[in-house]
Amino acid sequence: MTELKLFNSLTRELQPFEPIHDGEARVYTCGPTVYNYQHIGNMRAYIFADTLGRALSFKGYKLTHVINITDVGHLTSDADEGDDKMEKAAAAQGKSAWDIAAFYQADFEADLARLNIRKPAHPKATEYVEAMIEWGQSIADKHCYELGSGLYFDVSTVPDYGRLARAVTDEGEGRIDEVEGKRNAADFAIWRKTPPGETRQMEWDSPWGKGAPGWHLECSVMSKELLGHPFDIHTGGIDHREIHHPNEIAQNQAHGNCDHSGAKIWMHNNFLIDRGGKMSKSDGEFLRLQLLVDRGFHPLAYRMLCLQAHYRSELEFSWENLQAAFTRLKRLVMGVEKLPKSDDEFEVYEFYEAMESYKKMWQSKVAEPLKDFESAIFDDLNTPIALTALERAIATKKVDNEIMVQAVEAMDSVLGLGLLSLSRTDLRIRPKDAQITEEEIEAQLAARKEARSNKDFETSDRIRDDLISKGVDVMDGDPLGWDWKLDI
Ligand code: AMP
Ligand code: ZN
């Protein structure tokens, strides 16, 4: 089998994946801060991490994947500025910080499921505060100093701070004055003391007074507790390459008394942007998965949109792009709809090339696109190319159903589109405010047919667009005829 190569942000180079523990892959992904809904940009980070995990399983590794839940300690800036996100949301909504965390964690998990993101372990930061305090104690003398506001990490005490970011001095300058007394611009909080006279909803006793852990600490502690250090791959959005991950690395070096960054490979997905730039939650209205569904898009159309771009490229969101991705997904589902349905997860086949039950597949015409699929995925998860290989495989004529099912199962085990379990009916999502009856659809389709027979394509396109905006799909040239009826 082809070697799996991944892009390591530490070296900015592709490198072969060589597991630390034989036959195993251990992956840690920085998870959400559960003070609000996740926007679809955030979900791109988890679709990427899931695709990585699936590729590792496909390659035959036993996967352990952790996505932590940040339910304490994250300030409104990634540096030590601003308010605690959880406490702020609690005050704004008149609820306890714990209730806020539970509510948004549940919403996040529902979104993961809707996007076919395989369930990883979801430990909560608040369950690891004791371990965080112990970690702080182990590094306090050699690497930290105390100020009135908390315990701070002195980044000059570890070698080569910020090598992951490669631009840390510029980044750091802007942060220098925010906390009085910091020795270096990039120094960060290990522990934030509750200001005198105040009580926080989330606070713990510590050797540095009552307070809460700094945000960066949780990922060092939880990744070590859950995966052991060093582990294989650490992932996150590209913004984490600048502050959060360099800080994690510094903590790991200090704690381990070594120059090891904690993970062997650090991987970062690029941003989902919209025309206004990076998506953000700070401006009130923002794009959530539910909004896409309310507009009549299946959640997996968004997964398809993400897969169409390489994870290291920026991806621009627009409703038109989403529509195109949805249509592509529908075509795939149509392409496999004559095959027997299957909810089976593809098992881990270390050497499935050599397995007797796959022999026929490798001798069939589908073998060639399948090989291309593998090469694309193993080349730093090149999902755009992998998708075209899948389409070629599905379009291959004169292949036994049984063989086609095996091939689609194998490929979809990495892409996670649920092709063998989705039906047309599943993809027919009625937009929340759709106002169209069956009779109206019939009438419009008849008018469109008439326009087409008169070669009046302008009218026919307008009718089609109008139907699409109302959640009705028109699939021209589909011999089976797309079932357009709306489920109410
Ligand atoms: P947060 O809840 O803000 O900590 O973000 C959760 C994850 O989403 C992190 O890995 C971020 O780096 C990532 N992220 C945030 N915004 C975007 C975006 N627009 N596109 C892709 N990933 C993002
Ligand atoms: Zn993290």
Give the pLDDT score at 339. 86
Instruction: Please tell me the distance between residue 221's alpha carbon and the centre of ligand 2 in angstroms.
Output: 10
Burial (CB count within 10 angstroms: exposed 0-12, middle 13-18, buried 19+), residue 63: buried
Alpha carbon distance 25, 89 (integer Å): 36
Residue 235: CB within 6 Å of ligand 1?
A: no
Average pLDDT, the chain: 88
Tell me, in angstroms, the distance from the centre of ligand 2 to residue 425's CA: 39
For the segment 239-279, what is each residue's pLDDT rounded down to a tens digit? 999 999 999 999 999 999 888 899 999 999 999 998 776 67
- Band (484; pLDDT cuts 50, 70, 90): low
Nearest residue by C-alpha to atom 15 in ligand 1: 42
pLDDT at 177 over 50: no
Reported as a single tens digit per residue, the pLDDT across 49-67 is 999 999 999 998 999 999 9
- pLDDT greater than 50 at residue 168: no
For ligand 1, whether the C-beta of 274 sits within 6 Å is no
Counting residues of the chain whose pLDDT is more than 90, the rounded percentage is: 64
Q: Is the pLDDT of residue 148 over 70?
A: yes
Q: How far is the CA of 40 from the centre of ligand 2 (A)?
A: 19
The pLDDT confidence band at residue 92, using thresholds 50, 70 and 90, is: confident
CB count within 10 Å of CB 181 equals 11
Cβ of 271 below 6 Å from ligand 1: yes
Q: What was the pLDDT predicted at 305?
A: 98
Closest atom of ligand 1 relative to the 281 alpha carbon: 3
Q: What is the pLDDT of residues 95-139, one digit of tens each?
A: 888 889 999 999 999 999 999 999 888 899 999 999 999 999 999
Among protein residues, the one whose CA lies closest to atom 1 of ligand 1: 32
* pLDDT for the residue numbered 401: 93
Determine whether 190 is exposed, middle or buried from the number of CB atoms within 10 Å of its CB (0-12, 13-18, 19+).
Answer: buried
73 lines ligand 1 (CB under 6 A): no
Residues 296-340 have pLDDT tens digits of 899 999 999 999 999 999 999 999 999 999 999 999 998 998 888
pLDDT per position as a tens digit, 332-342: 998 998 888 77
- pLDDT value at residue 302: 98
pLDDT at 117 (0 to 100) = 97
Question: Which atom of ligand 1 lies at the shortest distance from residue 272's CA?
Answer: 20
Task: Please state the atom number of ligand 1 nearest to the C-alpha of residue 278.
Answer: 19
pLDDT for residue 340: 80
How do residues 402-454 score in pLDDT, each as one tens digit?
999 999 999 999 999 999 999 887 887 767 776 777 778 878 888 998 998 99
pLDDT digits (tens, 9 = 90+) for 212-238: 999 999 999 999 999 999 999 999 999
Q: Whose CA is nearest to atom 7 of ligand 1?
A: 42
Tell me, what's the pLDDT at 397?
93
User: If pLDDT is split at 50, 70 and 90, which confidence band does 176 have?
Assistant: very low
For a pocket test of ligand 1, which of 239, 242, 275, 316 has the largest count of ligand atoms closer than 8 A to its C-beta?
239
Q: What's the mean pLDDT in 3-27?
A: 96
User: For position 17, what pLDDT does the model report?
Assistant: 98
Is the pTM value of this prediction over 0.85? yes
Residue among 27, 34, 37, 42 to mutate when testing ligand 1 (max atoms within 8 A of CB): 42
Cα 88 from Cα 355, distance rounded (Å): 56
348 Cβ neighbours under 8 A, 6+ residues apart: 57, 58, 60, 61, 62
Q: What is the pLDDT of residue 479?
A: 45
